[in-house]
Structure 1
Amino acid sequence: MREEILSIPDVATRFLDQSRGMLASVGAELRRKNPPFMASIARGSSDHAAAFLKYASELTAGVPVASLGPSVASIYGVSLKLGQAATLSISQSGKSPDIVSMTRAARQSGALTIAITNAIDSDLARTSEYPIDILAGPERSVAATKSFVSSAIAGLALIAHWTENDDLLAAIDALPAALAKALACDWSPFAAALKDETSLFVLGRGPSLAISNEIALKFKETSGVHAESYSAAEVMHGPKAIVGKDFPILVLASRDAAEASIAEAADRLAEQGAAVFITSDKAASARTLPFVTTAHPLTDPLAALVSFYAFVEAFARSRGHNPDQPPHLRKVTETL
């Protein structure tokens, strides 16, 4: 897992260098289709990448994205009316029958079907009209890291080409260097705050909420820690009732319009007695974790995620877990 985490900047560079023409071509198809909405088809970590790209699409293209339940096609046999839509299927292996089934149904309904996968010879790639190979190379660790970041970058670059967003394209080109810096961020103070805790919250808002979902999953997969992901707004309703003294909370903030409100929420929870750590310097009571500011608010969450990946691999080992072999899990999960 650690080797794959350390390879993320190089993997991102390889993908961007080799995929510009293809991404521009698929972006042009999206402009031609001009879909009034998009739909995502994914599970697990790939669904978290899809949620990240949902925010990117809505914030840059103004096009809403709905997450489809793959079982609608694979189990229930229902064909959705997707003729005007574009769909984005994400799967590292491209093997899961339910993802393939829903993608096939979407294409048959007339949708423009795009797939992001690390297996260009997979059933998903063959089923989709426009497969995108993330070129991450074999990923041996069960917990996806380099394939997740590569999938997010692929989708983000596609959206930037679709919307002809030069600022975002430039930020994506500069992202590998930022990710290399992010690997060096020291989050060990957060490990000290976790102590013997077995539960924590991970908070975000907007694009960083999607990344908080991924972080919560990685805590479970690698470290045996029960982590729940919430919106920094939603946590102020029912969930904060269980926040007591020294309850650990990790808060993800980017340099975007939500940063001030996220920092305010972090401070309120810290004042409630929680051990709150945030990737922002705008909080007064919560503790700041080292973070890398990238060239665009939409790429900031990916830098924070890479810092977390480096942290959680070492944290898992410090707790006596082997993050390369988590219990009860396999690399490829094929669901119907």
Structure 2
Amino acid sequence: MTSPEVTKMFQEAGEAAAVVRRQLTANQAAVAALATDLRAAPPRGVMTCARGSSDHAATFGKYLIETRLGVLTTSAAPSISSVYGASANLTGMLAIGISQSGKSPDILSAMRAAKQGGARTAALVNTAESPLAHEVDTFLPLHAGSEVSVAATKSYIASLAALLHLVGEWAGDGDLLEALHNAPVLLEQAWASDWSPMVERLERAQGLYVIGRGLGFGIAQEAALKFKETCGLHAEAFSAAEVRHGPMALVGPDFPLLVFRQGDETADGVDELVAEVVARGGEVLVSGGDVPGAVQLPHPSAHPTIEPMLQIQAFYRAANALSLRRGFDPDRPPLLAKVTETV
């Protein structure tokens, strides 16, 4: 069997700590300048524009911006402009495009429409010489370097770090910024975390739910995608609040949950869900908390806004191993390409 350590997914995900360290230093002046402008002329709302893993980072950004800044944040449907040719009045808005490649036609179309509609535009892009990077008012490079594996890993974590950096500076949140600047060391610790119980339990699984809430929901979405694309395992992401509305009917001994739980205001509700499922005889793998009967997946303790980033880093290593255990190549998922150029 192929060793997990030889895949590009493993190698690239393992670079996340260095990526975040590099990004924080390189982007400090640009992030601080944008934050100063946003405080001087606060946007009436934020619109994010992204697909795939980048859109899951945008979900994280929505919860972060709304909880830390109180600014309404919504996700754009790129087809509104790219397919329907429609536009909206976005005067006074901030539009943030998030992309690894920066050249997907629908994302470009949506961001152009946002700018034409009066929005201030910013982009978090890994490929500096990309169309999106050149078309926005403010470009914040992700500094993730070359990412060859089809499965995005370090670029996703870089997107989370960039959002945390911007929001921390914009809000003047010293605690968040201090936690973020400590994140590279914690990411190294997260990469060494032992999630082998997840690999063992899901080797022959047919499906599962991935659960998060608040800041953790975007991480749950990302994990569910990685299960599908790298492990051939059907996984569906739900909020810990939404899963009780119908989806719970499938939960049981043969349909496990993977739960991401951070130590913020959502923690008690997530713990209650885990305890409820365990009491019904269901199997729960959980990162965070300490509910008896659940399988614990460790991650370093940290500021709640940083925890999801650490959890997904630990998850990537386990997902890479699970992919190989199930007979897949995580670097070359069937029917997928690195750059998806959706119109």
CA distance in 2, matches of 1:29, 1:101: 25
Please identify, of 229-238 and 173-182, the stretch whose mean Cα deviation from structure 2 is larger: 229-238
What is the aligned counterpart of 2:25 among 13, 17, 26? 17
Spell out, residue by residue over 1:20-48, the C-alpha distance to the aligned partner (whole angstroms, 9 max, x if none): 11110111121122012111011111000
Q: Does 1:324 align with 2:324?
A: no
| 1:159-198 equivalent positions in 2, closer than 5 A | 159-198=167-206
User: Residue 282 of structure 1: CA displacement?
Assistant: 3.2
Q: Does 1:314 align with 2:314?
A: no
Letter in 2 for 1:224: G
Task: Give the conservation status (yes or no) of the 8 Å contact 2:285–2:295.
Answer: yes
User: Residue 246 of structure 1: CA displacement?
Assistant: 3.7
Letter in 2 for 1:317: L
Letter in 2 for 1:50: A
Is there any run of 5+ residues in structure 1 with no aligned partner, and where?
Answer: none
User: TM (normalized to structure 1)?
Assistant: 0.98
| 1:158-307 equivalent positions in 2, closer than 5 A | 158-294=166-302, 296-307=303-314
Spell out, residue by residue over 1:134-158, the C-alpha distance to the aligned partner (whole angstroms, 9 max, x if none): 1111100000000000011011101
- 2:153 is matched with 145
CA distance in 2, matches of 1:131, 1:33: 19
Letter in 1 for 2:94: A
Q: Does 1:95 align with 2:103?
A: yes
User: Residue 247 of structure 1: CA displacement?
Assistant: 1.9
What is the aligned counterpart of 1:35 among 19, 43, 50? 43
Spell out, residue by residue over 1:226-253, the C-alpha distance to the aligned partner (whole angstroms, 9 max, x if none): 0010011111120010112242210000
User: TM (normalized to structure 2)?
Assistant: 0.96
CA distance in 1, matches of 2:148, 2:122: 25
**C-alpha RMSD over aligned residues:** 1.0
User: Residue 15 of structure 1: CA displacement?
Assistant: 0.7
Task: Give the conservation status (yes or no) of the 8 Å contact 1:193–1:275.
Answer: no
Secondary structure of the equivalent of 1:160? helix
CA distance in 1, matches of 2:205, 2:143: 38
Letter in 1 for 2:12: E
- 1:130 is matched with 138
Task: Give the conservation status (yes or no) of the 8 Å contact 1:254–1:300.
Answer: yes
Letter in 2 for 1:291: H
Letter in 1 for 2:58: A
User: Residue 284 of structure 1: CA displacement?
Assistant: 2.5
Letter in 1 for 2:194: D
What is the aligned counterpart of 2:80 among 69, 72, 82? 72
Task: Give the conservation status (yes or no) of the 8 Å contact 1:45–1:144.
Answer: yes
Aligned length: 335
Please identify, of 25-34 and 83-92, the stretch whose mean Cα deviation from structure 2 is larger: 25-34
Task: Give the conservation status (yes or no) of the 8 Å contact 2:199–2:321.
Answer: no
CA distance in 1, matches of 2:317, 2:206: 20
Secondary structure of the equivalent of 1:311? helix
Percent identity over the alignment? 42
CA distance in 2, matches of 1:214, 1:113: 25
Letter in 2 for 1:230: F
Task: Give the conservation status (yes or no) of the 8 Å contact 1:198–1:225.
Answer: yes
Task: Give the conservation status (yes or no) of the 8 Å contact 1:203–1:209.
Answer: yes
CA distance in 1, matches of 2:219, 2:203: 23
CA distance in 2, matches of 1:280, 1:160: 24
Secondary structure of the equivalent of 2:123? strand
Letter in 2 for 1:310: R
CA distance in 1, matches of 2:103, 2:211: 31
- Runs of 4+ aligned residues of structure 1 deviating over 6 Å after TM superposition are none
Change (3 A) 1:195 1:134: closer
User: Residue 272 of structure 1: CA displacement?
Assistant: 1.5
CA distance in 2, matches of 1:4, 1:85: 35
Task: Give the conservation status (yes or no) of the 8 Å contact 2:252–2:283.
Answer: no
Task: Give the conservation status (yes or no) of the 8 Å contact 1:255–1:293.
Answer: no
Secondary structure of the equivalent of 1:250? strand
CA distance in 2, matches of 1:221, 1:160: 32
CA distance in 2, matches of 1:244, 1:314: 25
CA distance in 2, matches of 1:42, 1:18: 23
Letter in 2 for 1:22: A
User: Residue 186 of structure 1: CA displacement?
Assistant: 0.7
Spell out, residue by residue over 1:142-188, the C-alpha distance to the aligned partner (whole angstroms, 9 max, x if none): 00000000011011101111111111111110000000000111111
Task: Give the conservation status (yes or no) of the 8 Å contact 2:203–2:326.
Answer: no
User: Residue 287 of structure 1: CA displacement?
Assistant: 2.2
CA distance in 2, matches of 1:194, 1:123: 40
